[in-house]
Amino acid sequence: MASTNSPAGPATGFNIWRLWTDERHRGILSQAIVVILVALALVWVADNTRTNLDNRGLDIGFDFLADPAGIGIGVSLIEYRSTDTWLRAMTVGLLNTVLVSALGIVAATAIGFAAGIMRLLPNWLIRTIIATWVEFTRNVPLLLQIIFWWTLLLSLPTVRETLRIGDSIFLNNSGITGPSPVFEPGASAVLIALAAGVAAAWAVLNWARKRQAATGERLPAGWIALGLIVLLPLAVYFASGEPISWDTPTANRFGRLRGGLTVTPELVALWFALSTYTGAFISEIVRAGILSVSKGQTEAAGSLGLKGWQTTRLIIMPQALRVIIPPLTSQFLNLTKNSSLALAVGFQDFVGIGSQAQNQTGQAIEIVFSWMVVYVSLSLLTSAFMNWYNARIALVER
Amino acid sequence: MKIKSFTGMAAVAGILAVAGMAVPAHAATLDDVKSAGVIKCGINTGLAGFAFTGDDGKWTGFDVAYCRAMAAAVLGDPDKVKYVNLTGANRFPALQSGEIDVLSRNTTWTFSRDVDLGFTFVGVNYYDGQGFIGRKSLGVKSAKELDGASVCIQTGTTTEKNLADFFRVNNISYEAVPIETNSEARTAYQAERCDVYTTDASGLAATKSTFEDAEKHMVFPEIVSKEPLGPLVRQGDDQWADIARWVLNALISAEELGVTQANVEELAKGSKNPEINRMLGSEGSYAKMLGLEKNWAVNAIKADGNYAEIFEKFVGPKTPLGLERGLNALYKDGGILYSPPFR
Ligand SMILES: N[C@@H](CCC(=O)N[C@@H](CS)C(=O)NCC(=O)O)C(=O)O
């Protein structure tokens, strides 16, 4: 018969003291106390904030989001005018944060893997150059690096000396400008065709891989996939009467390029700085990951006749990745958070526009709160994705 | 559950409880400043003439002089200031949170800052307005011809909203190049990242004074806004606001009454003008009403001189900024500077 009595206390009736002497009860009790204390602390903080705000005649709430922002924004992924609301301005900022973080994560990963692998090459010169670069980049404050890249980009030719690359790409210290697509009615068909092409290409690649595993026969799947991605949308484009045109930039009286798409030096500086800085950290993670794979694996691969690059790709990396992914995730999170240094060069990210809003409206608490919510959410999303990926590549024991 | 983690939790709870206790009850700013022995004054991150570091590495300038006068009035020593450098964007949280006691950073007195942000502006020490600076080579004579230009603008300022309004009202378009500090804005403007830079006219003069090729740039005639700049304190501490207000008034009155850095000690012993006597403490007990020492105004004026002396020394016609008194002359000299009487 199972007994619920704990051996620590007498079994007769209820005794207040048992809440303390019984290990299990004590656990629950102490947790309850902590929860209550934390709750009280929160209530106290909230109340204190409230009182202080009242004392200073400040009020709290998100009503300001519906007020017109009245500020100009340089880079925006969606349409924005200075008469739009703070909500829209903050959305522009959020998208800018996501944009620079995503670009940064992709580039940092590429740089990190390349540098990490190169650092293990037998060539002394390459190894030393990479090692010096890693040490340097990791140890110079990121803010300085952002300003460094920005200043460097500002030393490009000015608007008056704009460089022309090909027919319609322009480069000067206010950015690189090229034509941008204009979608007319019917353009969605082309985009759908593009999506279909990508999906079909993916299916073909998968099928070819399975076939090769089963029969050993190799198909030119890469070419077929490429053809699907390019030809399918192209065919639809012409069939539907060319519904996408190009907006080519033109210079105005100040030499400023208007129209088309401009990538500003602020964005590029931030992107370079974030991806090299984080890339340097990632390269160390990659190096450690590769070194964690036992040397016997390389030797075994060699004796099977695999070449150097094949060994790295097929034998070493899959095993190293298991070590690399968890710390890589935290580098991605760092990069996203570090992107908030954007304001230093005037790239208006979520923090930048938030502090403009805070400055103009005084709603500091609400804005700090929304910063926290946004960055925590971005972090959780990144982690969730990386955890999913990690689980996928985890070693399957057979 | 193990005892070890129980102690851990208890520790967390304890820390929370202590953290809760440790926040001090609200005290009067004057008492805080006196017990700290130094006044925390918010200033620019650097703006020629207004707040810059001298050869000795100490902060000086038009805005800094007010901090020094405050310290002299309250603590008897103009050097007892802890300077906190603030950008346009972080100056207000700094004042709200008590990181600084007074803000003297060419800040425009506006309705929403006064009413909504919970501050008290104690007066105006510089009547200004927003202007534009551009290269002469642009071939533009007026800001209204700036359709399509790229405009450098400091974030977190009144000027960024004025700019949007100006372009909208005149139905012209622009590309905003927002920058956080004046020195970065200058870098961007000089690199021609933007065609024009817009901020307070005084700031433009300050920025231009640092250009090596200043003659290649011009300030456009339009002044597109009213920017009354002045010091401010947190709302809700009337005594402190009174001190801040009357230190400013003392500097302005001193000019009007002919009290200067050189003669203030002498006049403090007593003079024929009763208003001077009341201000400098040889008559009446005005100092006590403010909660300050008898010679508060003497000290304030001794720090960097009266308003005119401060103006001439840091931003006037003989300085690289070369600003005229204009609106900032005394009312009796054709300006609008006017201190209420020491009465
Ligand atoms: N008066 C305006 C603008 C004040 C402002 O920030 N001015 C700039 C340009 S003159 C400045 O002082 N910059 C110096 C710095 O960045 O520290 C306001 O109160 O919002």
Q: Which residues of A181-210 are buried (b: 16+ CB within 10 A; e: fewer)?
A: eeeeeebeebeebbeebeebbeebbeebee
Mean pLDDT of chain B: 90
Least confident of A136-140, B9-13, B270-274, B317-321: B9-13
- B165 and A CB contact within 8 Å: yes
Residue whose CA is closest, atom 6 of ligand 1?
B88
B174 and A72: CB-CB below 8 Å? yes
Per the CB < 8 Å rule, is B176 touching A44?
no
Say whether residue B192 is in contact with chain A using an 8 A CB cutoff: yes
Q: What is the pLDDT of residue A365?
A: 86
**Taking the CB of residue A106, how many other CB atoms lie within 10 A of it?**
12
State the pLDDT at residue A202.
93
Q: Does A253 touch chain B (CB under 8 A)?
A: yes
Amino acid making up residue A365:
I
Say if B175 falls within a structural domain.
Answer: yes
pLDDT recorded at residue B337: 96
The backbone torsions φ and ψ at residue B128, rounded to the nearest 5 degrees and listed phi first, read -130, 180
Question: What is the pLDDT at residue A14?
Answer: 65
Lowest average pLDDT, out of A9-13, A102-106, B195-199, B215-219, goes to A9-13
Return the best residue to mutate from B41, B43, B47, B226 for the ligand 1 pocket (most ligand atoms within 8 A of CB): B47
Note whether B179 and B33 are same-domain residues.
no
DSSP letters, B148-184, are TEEEEEETTSHHHHHHHHHHHHTT--EEEEEESSHHH
Give yes or no for B172 touching A (CB within 8 A). no
Specify the pLDDT at position A15. 73
| Contact criterion met (CB below 8 Å) for B107 and B91 | yes
Same domain? For B181 and B147 the reply is yes
Most confident of the following: A98-107, A258-267, B148-157 = A98-107
Phi/psi at A391 (5° precision): -65, -35
**In this predicted structure, what is the pLDDT of residue B6?**
43
How is residue A59 written in tokens?
């009020």
* Same-domain status, B233 and B328: yes
CATH number at residue B152: 3.40.190.10
Final residue of a structural domain among B194, B225, B256: B225
Q: Which residue has the higher pLDDT, A345 or B69?
A: B69
Percent of chain B whose pLDDT exceeds 70: 92
How far, in Å, CA of A19 to CA of A9, rounded?
Answer: 10
Across residues A318-339, what is the average pLDDT? 94
For residue B10, the model assigns a pLDDT of: 46
Residue A3: pLDDT over 50: no
Q: A361 at the B interface (CB within 8 A)?
A: yes
Mean pLDDT of A17-23: 77
- For residues B257 and B201, state if they share a domain: no
Beta carbons of A82 and B168 less than 8 Å apart? yes
Element (H, E) at B298: helix B296-304
Both B144 and B199 in a single domain?
yes
Q: Are residues B172 and B113 in the same domain?
A: no
The answer to whether position B102 is within a domain reads yes
Residues of B within 8 A of A358 (CB-CB) are 89, 92-93
- B8 pLDDT above the threshold of 60: no
| pLDDT greater than 90 at residue A137 | yes
Q: State the pLDDT at residue B27.
A: 55
CB contact under 8 A, A256 and B96: no
Is some CB atom of chain B closer than 8 A to the CB atom of A76?
Answer: no
Residues with CB under 6 A from ligand 1: B 44-47, 87-88, 106-108, 154, 157-159, 181-182, 199-200, 203, 227, 229
B47 by DSSP, 3-state: which? strand
What pLDDT, on the 0 to 100 scale, is given for residue A13? 60
CB–CB of A56 and B165 under 8 A? no
Same domain for B123 and B136, yes or no, is no
Q: Give yes or no for residue A73 having a pLDDT over 70.
A: yes
- Nearest residue to B273 (alpha-carbon basis) of B246, B253, B296, B301: B253
In a domain, B85, yes or no: yes
In this structure, the strands spanning A180-183 and A244-247 are: antiparallel
What is the average pLDDT across B302-309?
Answer: 97
- Min mean pLDDT across B23-27, B238-242, B252-256 is at B23-27
Residue B2 — pLDDT band, cuts 50, 70, 90?
very low
| Mean pLDDT within B105-123 | 92
From residue B131, alpha-carbon distances to A49, A282, B75, B142, B193 in Å are 39, 47, 38, 11, 19
Average pLDDT of the segment spanning B302-306? 97
pLDDT at A9: 47
pLDDT > 60? residue A119: yes
Give the pLDDT confidence of A215-268 residue by residue, as tens digits: 888 888 888 889 989 998 899 888 888 888 888 898 888 989 888 899 999 999
Q: What pLDDT is stored for residue B25 in this prediction?
A: 38
State chain A's mean pLDDT as an integer: 89
- Assess if residue B18 is contained within a domain: no
Task: Note whether residue B106 is domain-resident.
Answer: yes
Q: Which phi and psi (to 5°) does residue A144 adopt?
A: -65, -40
Whether the pLDDT of residue B275 is over 60: the answer is: yes
My answer on whether B119 and B145 are in the same domain is no
How many angstroms is it from A234 CA to the middle of ligand 1? 53
| Alpha-helical runs (H) found in A307-363 | 308-310, 317-338, 350-361
pTM for this prediction = 0.81
Per cent of chain A over pLDDT 70 is 94
Is the pLDDT reported for residue B12 higher than 60?
no
Question: Does B235 lie in the same domain as B104?
Answer: yes
- Please report the pLDDT score of residue B202 as a whole number: 94
Residue B238 touches partner A, C-beta closer than 8 Å:
no
Q: Which of A27, A71, A174 sits opposite B160 (nearest CB)?
A: A71
From chain A, the residues in CB contact with B155 under 8 A are 71, 343, 346, 352, 355-356, 359
Rounded to an integer, the average pLDDT of A177-191 is 87
Per-residue confidence at A367, pLDDT binned at 50, 70, 90?
Answer: very high
Number of domains in chain B: 2
pLDDT of A279 reads 97
Considering the domain boundaries, does residue B314 fall inside one? yes
Going by pLDDT thresholds of 50, 70 and 90, the confidence category of residue B198 is very high
Tokens of residue A239, six digits: 């069939």
Q: How confident is the model at residue B15 (pLDDT cuts 50, 70, 90)?
A: very low
Q: Using alpha carbons only, give the angle A296, A298, A300 rounded to the nearest 5 degrees.
A: 65
Q: Which domain does B73 fall in, by range?
A: 29-127+229-333
Give the strands of the sheet with B232-234, arranged side by side. B81-85, B39-43, B102-103, B232-234, B119-121
- Can you tell me whether residue B12 is helix, strand or coil? helix
B89 and B106 belong to one structural domain: yes
Task: Please check the confidence at residue B20 and state whether its pLDDT lies above 70.
Answer: no
- The beta-carbon neighbor of A56 closest among B93, B118, B138 is B118
Band (A61; pLDDT cuts 50, 70, 90): confident
pLDDT value for A58:
66
Contact present, A395 and A322 (Cβ < 8 Å): yes
In a domain, B105, yes or no: yes
Mutate to test the pocket of ligand 1, among B45, B128, B159, B219 (most ligand atoms within 8 A of CB): B159
pLDDT of residue A57: 63
Q: What is the pLDDT of residue A19?
A: 74
Instruction: With residue A380 as reference, give the H or E element that holds it.
Output: helix A364-393
Is residue B255 located within the same domain as residue B273?
yes
Q: Is residue B10 part of a domain?
A: no
Last residue in a domain, options B178, B193, B225:
B225
Contact residues, chain A, for B164 at CB < 8 Å: 70-72, 82
Picking from A28, A30, A92 by the largest number of B CB atoms within 10 A of its own CB, the best residue to mutate is A30
* Mutational test site, ligand 1, from B45, B154, B187, max ligand atoms within 8 Å of CB: B154
- H/E stretch holding B72: helix B62-75
Residue A4 clears pLDDT 70, i.e. is over it: no
The confidence score (pLDDT) of residue B183 equals 85
The pLDDT of residue B19 is above 80? no
Note whether B293 and B173 are same-domain residues.
no
Q: What is the CA radius of gyration of chain B?
A: 23
Of B190, B225, B260, which closes a domain? B225
Mutate to test the interface with A, among B155, B194, B196 (most CBs of A within 10 A): B155
pLDDT of residue A307: 87
